[in-house]
Amino acid sequence: MSASSASSASRINSADKPGFGLWLFPDHDAGTLADVVVEAESAGLDEVWFGDEGPARDPVVTLAAAAPRTSTVGLGVAVTNPYLRHPAATASAFGTLAELAPGRVVLGLGAGGGLALGPVGVEREQPYTRVTEAVRIARAVLCGTSTDGYTVPPHAIRAPDVPIFIGARGKRLNRLASEVADGVFLGGVPLPMTATTLEWARWRRPVAAAIYPNVAFNGDEAEAIRPKLVYAFTDGPARTSSMLGVNPDAAARAAMALAEGDDGPARAVIDDRVLDALLVTGTIEEIGRQLAGLARQHGATSVGVAYIGQDPRGVLEPVAAAAWAFRRAVA
């Protein structure tokens, strides 16, 4: 068990009573995103996570705007990376957020993807080494201990109850989570890869698991999301492409075209067969039952909706309804 597991357990739900939440892409204004967190708590959600996509809305700042207006909802980032911020600065930011929302904050670390690193020309070099160092330094900062590369200053912040999750799709980083982290965040992992990914993450010891597949609540939404799902094959492991029969070079070219405003190649890569592996859809009741099935099958401590659509406020009503369906199915 990691150094903070015992003290952070209150923020991590149990597999017997998994939480339900919402993950959002930071492509909306900060005021709207902060309001969504407040409204999510009122709607009965257990947690809200924001992505960190580099030069976009800063997730910690946005969560800090929501923290004083909420009292129960968990606040997480999945995931931030060690390339654009020093891990000591990252840990200090999360420790500060934890002072605003005691017992409700989760730090998610990962290697980051092209959406975060590409715009600033940063190469994702030695991701395993960089994430390993980031977890070690962040843990030291949060626990108030010195380590190689960090000496505790007199004015240091301490927040030992902030759990650290690792968010990744590949084998090495998920195995790292089993060794040094409190949990894993599986965001947008193809449904057929969920069991394998969790086997990697629990190979050394069991850890908490937050499973957040991409979800669409209607056909129009699914079609709007379809081309964006190509990124599962640009930042994901080769095994994912092989399992789903996707040519990684074609996916890379499609992602480049999508960034330039042409979604045609991405739609071709994400055909209906691939879409079914990447997206949970159906009626609200069906979505709730599918997510409950994921929680039961994989012993998840939380499950939720990864939403990459264009209406984060409007999606709260169906997400809250799916949460009730999820809880009925789990019970």
Over residues 267-301, the pLDDT tens digits come to 999 999 999 999 999 999 999 999 999 999 999 99
Same domain, 131 and 186: yes
- Please name the residues in contact with 153: beta carbons below 8 A apart, sequence gap of 6 or more: none
Condensed to tens digits (0 to 9), the pLDDT of residues 28-78 reads 999 999 999 999 999 999 999 999 998 899 999 999 999 999 999 999 999
pLDDT band for position 5 (cuts 50, 70, 90): very low
Residues 94 and 5: their CA atoms lie apart, in Å, by 16
Same domain, 172 and 261: no
Indicate if the alpha-carbon torsion angle 116, 122, 125, 130 is positive or negative.
negative
Same domain, 305 and 289: yes
Same domain, 47 and 121: yes
CATH assignment of the domain containing 119: 3.20.20.30
Residues 221 and 207: their CA atoms lie apart, in Å, by 33
Amino acid at 238: A
pLDDT band for position 2 (cuts 50, 70, 90): very low
Statement: residue 264 has pLDDT above 70: yes
Same domain, 226 and 304: no
Same domain, 146 and 11: yes
| pLDDT value of position 3 | 40
The first and second tokens of residue 92, run together, are 């200090």
Mean pLDDT of 195-206: 96
Buried b (16+ CB within 10 A) or exposed e, 140-166: bbbbeeebeebeeeeebbbbbbbbbbb
Same domain, 103 and 245: no
pTM of the model: 0.94
pLDDT band for position 115 (cuts 50, 70, 90): confident
Same domain, 56 and 182: yes
Same domain, 130 and 238: no
The answer to whether 108 and 93 are in contact (CB under 8 A) is: no
Q: Which domain holds residue 29?
A: 5-217+282-330
Backbone region of residue 188 per phi and psi (left: phi > 0; alpha: psi in -120 to 50; beta: other values): left
Report the mean per-residue pLDDT for the chain: 94
Structural domains of the chain, count = 2
pLDDT band for position 237 (cuts 50, 70, 90): confident
pLDDT band for position 188 (cuts 50, 70, 90): confident
| pLDDT value of position 41 | 98
The answer to whether 312 and 33 are in contact (CB under 8 A) is: yes
| pLDDT value of position 1 | 38
Same domain, 126 and 241: no
| pLDDT value of position 252 | 93
Same domain, 109 and 255: no
Same domain, 162 and 94: yes
Task: Of 10-19, 157-166, 229-238, give the range with the top mean pLDDT.
Answer: 157-166
Condensed to tens digits (0 to 9), the pLDDT of residues 77-108 reads 999 999 999 999 999 999 999 999 999 999 99
pLDDT band for position 6 (cuts 50, 70, 90): very low
Mean pLDDT of 220-238: 92
